Amino acid sequence: MDDREVILKVENLSKQYRLGLVGTGTLSHDFNRWWHRIRGKEDPYLKIGETNDRSTKGESEYVWALRDINFEVRRGEVLGIIGKNGAGKSTLLKILSRVTSPTTGSIKTKGRIASLLEVGTGFHGEMTGRENIYLNGAILGMTKKEITAKIDEIIEFSGCERYIDTPVKRYSSGMTVRLAFAVAAFLEPDILIVDEVLAVGDAEFQKKAIGKMQDISSGEGRTVLFVSHNLSMIASLCGRTVVLKNGEINIFPSANDAIKNYFLFNDRGAIPNPNIRLEIPNSRGPKILECATLNFQNQLKETFDGGEKIRFKLSIKRDKNISVKFSIVCFIYNQSENLVAVSSSGKMNNVQYDSAICNSVLFELNSTPLVPGNYSMRIVLHIPGEHNFDDWTNCSSFSIIQHDILNTGFQFHSIWKPQLYLEVEWF
């Protein structure tokens, strides 16, 4: 990465917290620190601690919320940051925003930073919305003249014109977020840091905020760091994406690669349709060994462009001593565990498969109608209306990335939630 394009550089960043009641510590710990310091040695408690897994009980009273974080961000980039609750996302943003300081490591930035970390961050409840705009601008180092030149745009974008001269303490959380985002976006910071606060806003505002962040990065060349649990929004807005797990970092070149990693490794409970295989008593018929997704060159592939052809290869174990005809049913679920598509070999000219001669089956989607997202598959082998031989949920998964296959010009994200692209005849 060209150093001239780097606007934010994080090196060996770590943050340690002490668990339990907030205080100055114990006399024994203070004495131990002092004894190491006068001998010119490191603080011993910087070496003590565990990874930050909130779901397990640890042995140490010190924990590393972040551990050895290194990354760079280019000017004009929208960097996504995802991870489960407690992974260290908010801690990282607070350090980047100078709200708190790191235990070890350094941060180098070029230009002004504006942040939206929590509802009402940087606002004074007793001051009016208009006064808070000037206050935030002053904090960013802007002159009153510069703020005045932008204030009409800020008020119009926020949609809070009627209440702009009312103290902020009387605003709803949604109104506060609207005004805070408008202030942060229009007062021209070089780096805009946005935590999960946009989820408080309504659909109209989320749509406006996404469009504004896209304009900030592509049109104005400013940098956005965006944290959200809304993975559709991350996929539509971000390029490179960071996955945080227990205070440690992985960086992926695309949001879809990061989202797939998040589902596979970050939190088993987040995987749509957990891997379930029904036990079918006294079933001696065919069994599923594997379901793989391929491109049309028969190469293994798990991430596809919208509209790209997908081939599924189903490997089936057969009993040579038993010959039985059966049908195959394929169910496709999205990441919200909603069934979005189904197909059956029994519907394809009543084609059925004889397990005495069948080792593998190929079936194809010539033009994927699915919108961007992560999908899982359930396969059932059965005799229609009589008997199931195998029923395997989440036997395979794949991802569809953003692609305007209908040439509409729209980028589908969390504001619009279609399930399928429909190709129809127009008369």
Instruction: Please provide the DSSP assignment of 192-257 as one string.
Output: EEE-GGGGGS-HHHHHHHHHHHHIIIIIT--EEEEE-S-HHHHHHH-SSEEEEETTEEEEESSHHH
CB 344 within 8 Å of CB 333: no
Q: Which two tokens stand for residue 227?
A: 């944290």
Q: Which two tokens stand for residue 189?
A: 């910071």
CB 112 within 8 Å of CB 141: yes
Instruction: Check: pTM over 0.85? Answer yes or no.
Output: no
Question: Is residue 353 over pLDDT 60?
Answer: yes
Mean pLDDT (the chain, rounded) = 78
Closest CA to 375 of 334, 342, 419: 334
pLDDT band at 362 (very low <50, low <70, confident <90, very high): confident
Question: Is residue 251 over pLDDT 70?
Answer: yes
- The string of pLDDT tens digits covering residues 115-166 is 877 766 678 889 999 998 898 888 777 788 888 998 998 898 888 888 899 9
Closest CA to 357 of 324, 391, 390: 324
What does each C-alpha distance from 178 to 120, 156, 171, 207, 228 come to in angstroms?
10, 10, 10, 12, 17
- Kindly state the average pLDDT of the residues 294-323: 81
The span from the CA of 148 to the CA of 249, in Å, is 41
The span from the CA of 352 to the CA of 361, in Å, is 11
Strands (E), 220-359: 223-227, 241-245, 248-252, 276-277, 287-294, 303-305, 310-317, 325-334, 339-344, 353-354
pLDDT of res. 128:
93
What does each C-alpha distance from 318 to 59, 114, 324, 333 come to in angstroms?
51, 62, 10, 27
How many Cα neighbours within 13 Å face the side chain of 154? 27
The span from the CA of 216 to the CA of 196, in Å, is 18
CATH architecture of 75-269: 3-Layer(aba) Sandwich (3.40)
CA geometry: angle at 215 spanning 99 and 230, to 5°? 60
SS3 148: helix
CA-based radius of gyration for the chain? 27
Question: Of the spans 354-358, 378-382, 385-389, 413-417, which averages the highest pLDDT?
Answer: 378-382
User: φ, ψ for residue 212 (rounded to 5)?
Assistant: -65, -40
pLDDT band at 415 (very low <50, low <70, confident <90, very high): very low
- The string of pLDDT tens digits covering residues 256-302 is 778 777 766 544 334 444 566 666 666 677 888 888 888 888 888 88
Question: Is residue 350 over pLDDT 60?
Answer: no
pLDDT of res. 70:
92
Question: Is residue 422 over pLDDT 50?
Answer: yes
The span from the CA of 323 to the CA of 320, in Å, is 7
Q: Tokens 């059966």 correspond to what residue?
A: 326
CATH 2.70.50.60 placement within the chain: 280-401
pLDDT of res. 272:
46
CB 183 within 8 Å of CB 132: yes
Q: Which two tokens stand for residue 411?
A: 């980028």
CA geometry: angle at 366 spanning 365 and 372, to 5°? 65
Give the CATH number of domain 280-401; options: 3.90.550.10, 1.10.10.10, 2.70.50.60, 3.30.200.20: 2.70.50.60
- The string of pLDDT tens digits covering residues 40-93 is 877 666 655 555 555 555 556 677 888 889 999 988 888 999 988 888 888 898
- The string of pLDDT tens digits covering residues 206-229 is 777 878 888 878 777 888 898 888
Name 82's bridge partners: 243
CATH 3.40.50.300 placement within the chain: 75-269
Neighbour tally for 359: CB within 10 Å? 12
Orientation angle between helical segments 144-158 and 173-186, nearest 10 degrees: 140
The span from the CA of 300 to the CA of 12, in Å, is 36
CB 368 within 8 Å of CB 307: yes
